Amino acid sequence: MLARMDALEEVLMCKLDDGRKAVDPCTIVIFGASGDLTARKLIPALYHLFKEQSLPVPFRVVGFARREKTDEAFRAELGEALKQFSRTKPVDEKVWAAFSANIFYCMGDFGDAAAYEKLAKLLKSFGEPKLADNLLFYLATSPSQFAECVEHLHNVNLLRKDTNAHWQRVVVEKPFGHDLASAHELNAGLTKHAHEKQILRIDHYLGKETVQNILMFRFSNSIFEQIWNRASVEQVQITVSEKIGVGGRGGYYEEAGALRDMVQNHLLQILALVAMEPPATLEAEAIRDEKVKLLKSIRPLRPADVEKQVVRGQYFAGQVGTEFRPGYRQEPKVKPDSNVETFVAMKLFIDNWRWSSVPFYLRTGKNLPLGASEVRVQFRPTPSVLFAAQAGQKLDANAITLRLQPEEGITLRFNGKIPGTSLSVRPVRMSFSYESEFGAYTPEAYERLLLEAIAGDATLFIRRDEVETAWGIVDAIRAGWNGKPLSNREFYSAGTWGPVASDDLLAQAGHAWRNPLPMAPKTT
């Protein structure tokens, strides 16, 4: 294993020195281009990639949507949106002018075959063969339209399985179904006219710099990897807390809930990266193979297990900071007697050699006191035979905390002697901050993901078996709930860290949640 780790570390470090991604000239076609995602995320991300000279030369961006508009009007709309959503302000007008000259618009209905013929004609008009053959289709549409778009693209020969000299890829946004059966149907529709390797399922969480750094932290630092197992680790806590409430998404949340919205994708993906075995290489399929193996190693939950290991919650009216928030049942488009969960906490076990008997605690929720995402790996305590009498409760367990957002960084918690004549001990922290070490710049998740899609690197995208395995876990939990109403112990006030039942879940094993800490004030 040590030899394998040394080889993997060498590959990791080499990959850092490779420089820019190799990208071929291509056209990026955005379906649903008049929607919010294009204006808020996709065009700003492409603009910044262009500004940093990371996009291929030449390239084109084509917006495909129902509304009638000219190329000039489309560019003007996007330019105004960029002023609002760009991560750097003000927008460089010269860079925008050069970038926007490559943006075009194609009006058409997603179900109209003639519109796809018009799209094919537009692509050929660009002159450069690669711009008409190297194609990235970004489906910023409803999932119900994914298969329809793919079929129409295939029918006009814009999406082919048998291409060798050129490439076509399809990017789809979550949700990837709403249960295992619908995910299977969706995947079957996508792969009818495209190979699995051409389908890139995007989860913006995997594009975050600190989420990607989990693998680097684990597998390029032998001092940590050697203690990353059941012999040293007592428990692992993964928290993704949101300070915001449901707000205007009440209609969506009534269908999804926190389990489908957050656990099925974000939390299980983080769990897989934290707990997976080292891959043989850094090739996309090797990494995704290990993630799937990990997800399949999660102990199945029967209905009786769900009752003991999973807690849901729903917020009622309360104070978040200085702001009063209404209860979930008072939010727009929410049923007055809704039992939909806005909070989920669970205890999972991974039945493999590395993690046998170690509990993994996952939680996520809306209207919590702080918006933060972090992983806390807590190590087994030392025998209480030396310092317990002097330190008592202050003798805390060692822990490593990976802060994914905000104030991204890594903290090592250990016990230290308080200066003085007495033998007094208290926990201290050794902290690493991304901003302090590397500067404030961190690329937006969509910048990284779009560049990876253009380069054809599927590492940060979710494979079909990952999606379906995760849905199997979530479906078992929903079956365990089976329409049961929320109990009094499952409601929580907005502005608190969740329901009492969540604390009870950990107390069963003598554990307690460690809540994320607020960001330290910046000094000037």
Distance in angstroms (rounded) separating the CA atoms of residues 199 and 362: 29
Q: What is the DSSP letter of 460?
A: T
Helix, strand, coil share of the chain (percent; to 5): 45, 20, 35
Please tell me whether residue 212 adopts helix, strand or coil conformation: helix
Please tell me whether residue 135 adopts helix, strand or coil conformation: strand
Distance in angstroms (rounded) separating the CA atoms of residues 402 and 346: 20
CA-closest candidate to residue 33, choices 68, 73, 66, 64? 64
- Annotated catalytic residue within 152, 193, 204, 266: 266
Distance in angstroms (rounded) separating the CA atoms of residues 337 and 2: 56
> Which neighbouring-strand residues pair with 412?
400, 430
**Catalytic residue list contains 266:** yes
Furthest CA-CA distance within the chain: 85
C-alpha distances (whole Å) from 302 to each of 183, 259, 306, 473, 501 are: 21, 17, 6, 10, 19
Instruction: Give the HSE-up count for residue 253: Cα atoms under 13 Å, Cβ half-sphere.
Output: 24
Which residues are CB-contacts of 52 (< 8 A; sequence separation ≥ 6)?
A: none
CA-closest candidate to residue 5, choices 223, 222, 214? 222
How is the beta sheet containing 103-107 ordered, strand by strand? Answer: 103-107, 59-65, 26-31, 135-139, 168-173, 199-202
Q: Which residues are catalytic?
A: 266
